[in-house]
């Protein structure tokens, strides 16, 4: 008898028992499936509830951060106006344009006059680039400061863990904000301008007074000269221009040290994202565009542009000081918030 026949006979004899057992197993499996399904649904509800609570908490913190950031940004605008006046004074003292003009007027020979004229062109352009780089760096730095403070106070502030949180918060905030004045110290700005002069004067050495420019050509050359300055190794890390004495910083209490470390990180990441370069490009475009607009022709020799570059400085400074940079500020704030939120 085959195995198949034996198996068939066994099934016939025990058919009822097999059916009953199958029913029990099937019922048990259904019960287990039902239990696991309900448990999974319950866990899913818990997960969704936790996720919603987490998202709500993040949204609340972000709104608090945005509120504080708006307050600090408003203060930043007032501070920027104050700092620009100091920057302008130091720049004026460093670039004595009027003295060079006097040399041109008093020149005894055409050769001496030509040399003085070339010097006027280099100096006027270096002054425009210095103003653009210094003020744009200052604007970015103030915005980074505002982001650090807004995030620190709106999130898990280390200030609040001290014995006198209100006094501590005021002290750390004041100390942190005042540290930026190191950047606009006369010595620091002179070092920056010396480097700018070195690059500009070298790059413009071969420029011919009789070189003809269209407006677009002049603007492109002007902007590219500013970019060449910014791409120099001296400017690759702008954070050391704002926090030149980290030894002093590290002697402070840990809360203040952490603020400065976050601040330095933000300055460097903004620079790496070319946001500073974009802002400076807008300033330089305005300087060169306003200068060329004084020319009534479609093209002009460089020798004819030099006086216009010098004469249009005050107008360009006013226009750049009132430039709408809200889009760039928004980009800075988004990058800063993302960096602070996801810092290690």
The SS3 of residue 344 is: coil
Contact 262, 198 (CB under 8 A): no
What is the average pLDDT value for the chain, to the nearest integer? Answer: 80
pLDDT score for 327: 92
Inform me whether the pLDDT recorded for 25 exceeds 60.
no
| CA nearest to 292, candidates 223, 218, 210, 224 | 218
* pLDDT on residue 257: 77
Q: Is 126:197 a contact under the CB 8 Å cutoff?
A: yes
Whole-number Å distance between alpha carbons of 106 and 137: 38
Tell me the pLDDT band of 221, cut-offs 50, 70 and 90. Answer: very high
Determine contact, residues 65/154, Cβ cutoff 8 Å.
Answer: yes
For residues 219 and 39, what is the distance between their CA atoms, to the nearest angstrom?
68
Distance CA 85, CA 255 (A): 32
Cα→Cα distances 246→15, 144, 278, 296, 318, Å: 88, 17, 28, 52, 34
pLDDT at 158: 56
Q: What pLDDT sits at residue 178?
A: 76
Inform me whether the pLDDT recorded for 44 exceeds 70: no
Per-residue pLDDT of 287-302, as tens digits, reads 999 999 999 888 999 9
Query: Residue 151's closest CA among 308, 294, 53, 266?
Result: 266
Q: Provide the pLDDT for residue 247.
A: 62
Query: Span 49-64, mean pLDDT?
Result: 62
Three-state DSSP class for 212? strand
Would you say residue 275 has pLDDT above 90?
yes
Mean pLDDT of 60-70: 73
Instruction: Name the more confident of 342 and 116.
Output: 116
> What per-residue confidence (pLDDT) applies to 46?
54
Distance CA 325, CA 304 (A): 32
Compute the average pLDDT of residues 186-213. Answer: 92
**Whole-angstrom Cα distance, residue 223 to residue 213?**
14
Confidence class of residue 182 from pLDDT cuts 50, 70 and 90?
confident
pLDDT band of 8, cuts 50, 70, 90 = very low
């Amino acid at each position: 008898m085959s195995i198949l026949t034996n198996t068939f006979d066994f099934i016939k004899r025990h058919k009822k028992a097999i059916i009953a057992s199958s029913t029990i197993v099937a019922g048990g499996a259904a019960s287990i499936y039902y239990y696991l399904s309900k448990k999974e649904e319950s866990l899913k509800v818990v997960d969704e509830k936790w996720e919603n609570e987490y998202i709500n908490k993040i949204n609340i913190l972000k709104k608090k951060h945005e509120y504080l950031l708006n307050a600090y940004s408003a203060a930043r605008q007032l501070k920027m106006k104050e700092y620009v006046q100091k920057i302008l004074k130091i720049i004026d003292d460093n670039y004595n344009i009027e003295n060079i003009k006097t040399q041109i007027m008093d020149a005894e020979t055409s050769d001496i006059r030509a040399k003085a004229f070339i010097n006027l062109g280099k100096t006027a352009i270096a002054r425009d680039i210095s103003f653009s780089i210094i003020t744009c760096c200052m604007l970015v730095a103030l915005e980074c400061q505002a982001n650090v403070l807004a995030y620190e106070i709106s999130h898990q502030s280390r200030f609040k863990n001290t014995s006198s949180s209100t006094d501590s918060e005021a002290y750390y905030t004041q100390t942190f904000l005042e540290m930026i004045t190191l950047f606009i110290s006369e010595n620091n700005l002179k070092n920056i301008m010396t480097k700018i002069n070195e690059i500009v004067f070298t790059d413009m050495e071969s420029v011919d007074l009789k070189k003809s420019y269209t407006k677009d050509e002049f603007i492109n050359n002007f902007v590219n000269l500013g970019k060449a300055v910014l791409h120099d190794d001296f400017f690759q890390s702008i954070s050391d221009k704002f926090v030149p004495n980290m030894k002093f910083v590290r002697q402070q209490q840990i809360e203040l040290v952490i603020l400065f470390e976050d601040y330095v990180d933000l300055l460097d990441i903004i620079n790496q994202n070319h946001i500073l370069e974009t802002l400076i490009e807008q300033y330089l475009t305005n300087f060169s565009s306003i200068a060329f607009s004084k020319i009534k022709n479609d093209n002009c020799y460089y020798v004819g542009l030099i006086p216009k570059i010098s004469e249009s400085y005050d107008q360009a400074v006013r226009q750049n000081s009132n430039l709408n940079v809200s889009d760039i500020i928004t980009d800075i704030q988004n990058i800063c918030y993302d960096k602070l939120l996801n810092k290690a």
